[in-house]
Structure 1
């Protein structure tokens, strides 16, 4: 009888396991990581950037001490005061290479390397770690960590439009 009970309970255990693995928490987690992975792929292919995922009122915090370190309280503010000054010093767009993506609930953390050529033809290479919070498929908060020494060098060495 014990063997029969075990056999009868197996399909229930499998069904319960499948139901739990497709619960909204897991689906959301995977969906956000997938969105981020796709955004990085698009960026590599020149079809957009990760910034396309930002909600208009997203908060972006750049850690450290660089000319762009600080808190930005909107996508527009961040793009204008941080992304644009960096991009203005580059001859090529930053090409990202993702090292890892870790997701839990609505938080996705990505470790990635970026490489570009500055206007003075010297390489710009940096490593980034972005701790991103998602809501309804959009990024609402980012805490960005990077090698600010490398960024400071670019910002002071290269003048925009040089």
Structure 2
């Protein structure tokens, strides 16, 4: 039996042990977790590389990442893997462009393991007409990689490009 005098010390020691144990568990279970600031920096750098023509945010996709195009565009659905998304959307999109789109970021926000990118993008289609759209992408990050993404954009502009310009094979 603990004396009345020692009870506060016993309680504090138990709380300290529990806090330390929980801290160790948190570190062990989140070993690959990134901070919101780190996730934001990773995404910002990928957009900077895209603007410079030296990379793209699609390089951040984990192989098993799912990408959902929301809304009612001709490409709206969930693509279950990086390769499915690249094969069915990105490569055919790029094959319709003579000058690929370049992003202009309006904002990047990170909270927990989610990064939201709001940006404009413009390029030139193979028929010489401009393609201009505004996007909002929602990335779920794990270990510096995108594991799930949702994209919102103007479906009218996208559908027009998709119907008007055949991909250059």
Scaled by the length of structure 2, the TM-score of the pair is: 0.79
Partner of residue 154, structure 2:
147
Q: Which has the larger radius of gyration?
A: 2
Moved over 4 A (4+): none
Partner of residue 138, structure 1:
145
Q: How does 1:70-81 map to 2 (within 5 A)?
A: 70-81=77-88
In structure 2, the gaps of 5 or more residues are: 1-26
In structure 1, the gaps of 5 or more residues are: 1-23
The separation in 1 between residues aligned to 2:72 and 2:91, in whole angstroms, is 18
User: Paired residue for 1:89, among 93, 96, 111?
Assistant: 96
Q: How does 1:29-108 map to 2 (within 5 A)?
A: 29-108=36-115
Q: Deviations over 1:19-70 (max 9, x none)?
A: xxxxx99x61000000000000001111110001000000100011222111
Cα shift at 1:144 = 0.3
Task: Give 3-state SS (helix, strand or coil) of 2:92's partner.
Answer: helix
The separation in 1 between residues aligned to 2:89 and 2:77, in whole angstroms, is 9
The separation in 2 between residues aligned to 1:122 and 1:77, in whole angstroms, is 28
CA RMSD of aligned residues (A): 1.7
Partner of residue 110, structure 1:
117
Cα shift at 1:160 = 1.3
Q: Deviations over 1:63-94 (max 9, x none)?
A: 11222111001000000001111111100111
Pairs aligned (count) = 139
The separation in 1 between residues aligned to 2:158 and 2:100, in whole angstroms, is 15
Cα shift at 1:161 = 1.9
Cα shift at 1:129 = 0.1
